[in-house]
């Protein structure tokens, strides 16, 4: 070994990604009902590899080597099962030669990708509840440890263990199949997968409580899984590309959203030079790839909205008219209060302040929403402030301040109240 060489670097998150692959392949071989056994086997494999590599050297292709070890262990386990099965020596011999061959097939690259997709689809089974889906995906697909999941989701180990247990129990009791659905069920399942991936992304993007590295990890992982989806014949749909494009656009702003002292920097105040151009470029690339077929998804529209912001060199030059049209489309697919709220902000940007305020007041159930959710108070308060109704503005901003648990949000609201005439 020549001196002065910097130590060999393992690719970021290599072990996590390989663990995810391994769990998928072994689940395909041993069956989803054996998920615990599979997780234990994968853990053992990694631990042994770690121990040996510590003292010798990491092989040139650590990923390949890990898979090899997993494969050999699998063949051993299968052979052991065969021994326990009371079969003739001849059959045993015949199976012996074939076992390696058969098991080997599961470890081909195309089959590994297929198994990973099955795992994603199984974790995102619509009968499981979303938080369980998220936890199970992070554990078995993304290779996160339980503590890593609790840190990422700002929860605790016991809660996460419970979610994992519930999910696995459900899968076992209802004999959920480890497969890629076809036909109509496939469309529905893909929709669930998108929801979970987007949920995952937002946990990383919007959480202000988890630490920055973990939040970054979550966003990156959501994007990685979405990309994995697009690389498979079943997943390379326009909606998959639209979702991936949306994530790229949002991720490009990841670093500009928080100030040093954990203050929130609103879109209008963000330094656009700090937006990651490479991610924006990729956002457009995937947006283009999504512009096919006859199904306009929510992700297409949300991505177009994000693209519009990224296109604009500064806040003032943003094409508010186009954004309003996009929000009109979004509202048709997602007629929910928060979309109405965001649309009203656009109306205000276009100078239609009274209409904006009326739009909010017309939201079905607005009284309850104002009672419990800070964001409606914050936006309505801001608009009243702009309209000159200072008393009402102050009242609403105070209510928002009261309702939000976030220190960063509180600071923002305090600043807005100070700015009121």
18 near another protein, rule: CB under 8 A: yes
Report, in angstroms and rounded to the nearest whole number, the Rg of the chain calculated over CA atoms: 25
Nearest-angstrom CA–CA distance, 87 and 49: 33
Instruction: Give me the 49-88 binding string for another protein, x by CB under 8 A, dash otherwise.
Output: -xxxxxx-xx------------------------------
The only residue of 36, 47, 108, 127 in contact with another protein, by rule CB under 8 A: 47
Residue pair 312/318 in contact by the 8 Å Cβ criterion: yes
Q: Output 18 or 302, the one with its CB closest to another protein.
A: 18
Residue pair 269/294 in contact by the 8 Å Cβ criterion: no
Q: Output 52 or 154, the one with its CB closest to another protein.
A: 52
| Helix ranges, 85-183 (H) | 89-106, 109-123, 130-136, 146-152, 157-173
**25 exposed, middle or buried (CB, 10 Å; 0-12, 13-18, 19+)?**
buried
Closest approach of another protein to the CB of residue 17, in Å: 8
From the centroid of its chain, how far is CA 289? 20
Residue 26 half-sphere exposure toward CB, CA atoms < 13 A: 31
The only residue of 25, 28, 41, 46 in contact with another protein, by rule CB under 8 A: 46
Q: Counting runs of H as helices and runs of E as strands, what totals does the chain give?
A: 20, 0
Nearest-angstrom CA–CA distance, 118 and 177: 9
Q: Output 10 or 102, the one with its CB closest to another protein.
A: 10
Closest approach of another protein to the CB of residue 256, in Å: 27
Total number of residues binding another protein (CB under 8 A)?
30
**For another protein, which stretch binds (CB under 8 A), given 46-54, 249-257, 274-282, 373-381?**
46-54
Closest approach of another protein to the CB of residue 33, in Å: 23
Closest approach of another protein to the CB of residue 52, in Å: 6
Q: Output 10 or 85, the one with its CB closest to another protein.
A: 10
- Nearest residue to 164 via CA among 137, 136, 145: 136
Q: Output 153 or 306, the one with its CB closest to another protein.
A: 153
Residue 320's beta-bridge partner residues? none
- DSSP character for 264? B
Residue pair 300/238 in contact by the 8 Å Cβ criterion: yes
Binding residues among 137-166 for another protein as defined by CB under 8 A: 143-148
**What 3-state class would DSSP assign to 369?**
helix
8 near another protein, rule: CB under 8 A: yes
Q: Assign residue 107 a region: left if phi > 0, alpha if psi is -120 to 50, beta otherwise?
A: alpha
Sign of CA dihedral 66, 68, 71, 77: negative
Q: Output 42 or 412, the one with its CB closest to another protein.
A: 42
Closest approach of another protein to the CB of residue 15, in Å: 4
Closest approach of another protein to the CB of residue 393, in Å: 47
Q: Output 44 or 179, the one with its CB closest to another protein.
A: 44
Closest approach of another protein to the CB of residue 161, in Å: 12
Q: Output 46 or 327, the one with its CB closest to another protein.
A: 46
Residue pair 279/301 in contact by the 8 Å Cβ criterion: no
- Please enumerate in sequence order all residues whose Cβ is within 8 A of that of 11, keeping only pairs 6 or more positions apart, or say none: none
Binding residues among 88-147 for another protein as defined by CB under 8 A: 143-147
CA end-to-end distance (rounded Å), the chain: 70
409 near another protein, rule: CB under 8 A: no
Q: Output 66 or 244, the one with its CB closest to another protein.
A: 66
Q: Output 145 or 181, the one with its CB closest to another protein.
A: 145
> What is the torsion angle, in degrees rounded to the nearest 10, for the CA atoms of residue 84, residue 89, residue 93 and residue 99?
-20
Closest approach of another protein to the CB of residue 59, in Å: 12
The binding site for another protein (CB under 8 A) comprises 1, 3-5, 7-10, 13-16, 18-19, 46-47, 50-55, 57-58, 143-148
């Amino acid at each position: 070994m020549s001196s002065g060489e910097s130590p060999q670097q393992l690719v970021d998150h290599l072990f996590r990604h390989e663990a995810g692959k391994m769990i998928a392949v072994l689940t395909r071989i041993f069956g989803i009902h054996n998920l615990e056994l599979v997780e234990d086997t994968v853990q053992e494999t990694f631990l042994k590899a770690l121990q040996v590599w510590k003292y010798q050297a990491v092989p040139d292709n650590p990923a390949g080597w890990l898979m090899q070890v997993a494969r050999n262990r699998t063949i051993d386990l299968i052979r052991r099962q065969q021994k326990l099965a009371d079969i003739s020596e001849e059959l045993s011999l015949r199976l012996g030669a074939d076992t390696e061959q058969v098991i080997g097939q599961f470890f081909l690259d195309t089959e590994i990708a297929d198994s990973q997709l099955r795992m994603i689809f199984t974790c995102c089974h619509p009968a499981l509840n979303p938080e369980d889906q998220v936890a199970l995906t992070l554990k078995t697909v993304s290779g996160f440890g339980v503590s890593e999941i609790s840190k990422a989701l700002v929860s605790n180990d016991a809660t996460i263990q419970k979610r994992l247990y519930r999910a696995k129990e459900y899968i076992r009791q209802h004999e959920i199949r480890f497969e890629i659905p076809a036909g109509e069920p496939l469309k529905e399942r893909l929709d669930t997968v998108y929801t979970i991936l987007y949920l995952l992304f937002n946990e990383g993007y919007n959480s202000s409580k988890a630490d920055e590295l973990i939040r970054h990890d979550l966003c990156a992982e959501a994007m990685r899984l979405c990309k994995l989806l697009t690389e498979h014949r079943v997943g390379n749909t326009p909606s998959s590309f639209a979702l991936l494009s949306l994530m790229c656009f949002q991720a490009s702003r990841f670093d500009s959203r928080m100030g040093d002292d954990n203050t929130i920097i609103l879109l209008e105040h963000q330094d656009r030079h700090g937006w990651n151009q490479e991610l924006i470029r990729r956002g457009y690339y995937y947006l283009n790839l999504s512009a096919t077929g006859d199904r306009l998804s929510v992700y297409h529209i949300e991505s177009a909205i994000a693209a519009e912001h990224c296109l604009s060199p500064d806040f003032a030059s943003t094409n508010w008219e186009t954004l309003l049209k996009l929000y009109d489309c979004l509202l048709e697919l997602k007629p929910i209060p928060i979309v109405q709220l965001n649309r009203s902000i656009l109306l205000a940007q276009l100078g239609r302040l009274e209409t904006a305020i009326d739009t909010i007041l017309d939201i079905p159930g607005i009284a309850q929403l104002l009672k419990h959710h800070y964001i409606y108070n914050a936006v309505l308060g801001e608009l009243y402030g702009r309209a000159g109704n200072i008393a009402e503005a102050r009242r609403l901003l105070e209510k928002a301040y009261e309702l939000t648990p976030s220190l960063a949000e509180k600071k923002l609201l305090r600043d807005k109240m100070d700015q009121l005439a």
